[in-house]
Amino acid sequence: MNILPAVLQNGISSTARHICKLPRERNAFSHIQRNPTDQKLSSRTYSRWNQPNDPDDCDKRATNHVRAKYKHLIKVLKEDAEKREMLKIKKGKERSEKAKEGKKSSLLLRKLRGKGTKQVKQGRIADRNIIFVAGLGSIGMGASREILKKGPKNLLIFGRSTKPKAMEELRRINKKSNIKFYKYDVTLPLKASKELLYKVFEEYKKIDLLINGAGLLDEHKIAETVDVNFKGTVNTTTAIMDFWDKRRGGPGGVIANLCSASAFNPIYQLPVYSASKAAVLSFTISLAKLAPLTGVTAFSFNPGITQNPLRNKCNSWLNVEPCVGKLLLIHPTQTTKQTGKSLVEVLEANRNGVIWKVDQGRLEAVKWLGQRYWDSGI
């Protein structure tokens, strides 16, 4: 098929649809189809060149114009055709490569299937296996207490330092649930996260829920704040996809990311902390949109200021507000218990993509309007 005349005659959208029979390609052009101006672009362009004051070479100029305008499209279509040919040849080779890549997780999944583990409805706490990445500071501790009251099968705390006293207290809350501590530093590279998760999946076979709750609030530690709050969440999430991603035969899962209300509107005295939380919020929005592909749903939980004696010691960026910790505490909005209870509520609700806010003890789903500012269209 000759692309150029077809584009000139029918417009780009219908030509593209006609050429691309495969679902992925159809999807690739769907945004063009959605844009109503594009369909008539060629005729409009043609009539523009066909003005009475310039009648001589309008045909030639229109052709050149369209050729230049859709040069990239023609190139992409050609490349795709070539790629499909190459794919047929390399199919066998690719298969073996893929097998190598997914070796570890596939082995594990095969074991799981062999033992007859069936996929159950995700997200409820009772009798589930939960990983909670948390420092067991006041919010992490408050949340753990509330989670345990709902009776999870296994609650695996991933933390930087062992806290025997806190663990002892948690064990007393619910003696039927198994609570175990794993030493885990979210600031280490992705590989370390994968290694730990491999051990955990080997032991527990199935993990239903991952709660990313590690957080740092100290603007004198810029690199560490970014690493713990943002990179840590991304690393743990990326690592668990090896075991959960349904494209690799995984059973799917649920991710709850603990952000902060400062992700919506920064506490400007704490710009790095707020920005890192804005990043996690954005990341979670993406994760939720990817759920149909990966089988892994995600939502974010954004508490307002929670009463926490540790806050008192936190530093502001360049000391712009030496009393920032006190100012945060001076107007307490909610207790760690309230925050914990709200977290349990949203874990039980398990709604993909919801941006939860709990401020002054009130829990609500935020209608986020990011798309009104811009949409990539892909």
Residues from 269 through 298 that contact a copy of itself (CB under 8 A): 269-272, 274-283, 285-287, 289-290, 293-294
Tokens of 243: 């075991």
Angle at 155 between CA 153 and CA 161, to 5 degrees: 160
From 4, 318, 348, 362, residue interacting with a copy of itself (rule: CB under 8 A): 318
In angstroms, how far is CA 15 from the centroid of its own chain? Answer: 35
Closest to a copy of itself by CB, 108 vs 275, is 275
Q: Phi/psi class of residue 4: alpha, beta or left (left: φ > 0; alpha: ψ in -120 to 50)?
A: alpha
| 304 Cβ contact partners less than 8 Å away, ≥ 6 residues apart | 261, 333, 334, 357, 358, 359, 360
31 binds a copy of itself (CB under 8 A): yes
Catalytic residue among 198, 204, 273, 373: 273
Q: What is the DSSP letter of 177?
A: S
Of residues 158, 243, 317, 356, which one binds a copy of itself by CB under 8 A?
A: 317
Tell me the per-residue interface mask from 108 to 137 with a copy of itself, x by CB under 8 A, - otherwise: ------------------------------
Q: Which is nearer to a copy of itself, 114 or 377 (CB)?
A: 377
Maximum C-alpha span of the chain? 90
39/6 Cα distance (integer angstroms)? 12
Site for a copy of itself in 174-203 (CB under 8 A): 189-190
Closer to a copy of itself by CB, 31 or 67: give it: 31
Within residues 333-352, the interface with a copy of itself by CB under 8 A covers none
Residue of the chain from 3, 20, 28, 192 that contacts a copy of itself (CB under 8 A): 28
* Helix/strand/coil for 327: helix
Q: How far is the CB of 136 from a copy of itself (least distance, A)?
A: 23
Instruction: Say which amino acid occupies 73.
Output: L
Question: Could you say whether residue 99 binds a copy of itself (CB under 8 A)?
Answer: no
Q: Using the 8-state DSSP alphabet, how is residue 306 labeled?
A: B
Please list the active-site residues.
273
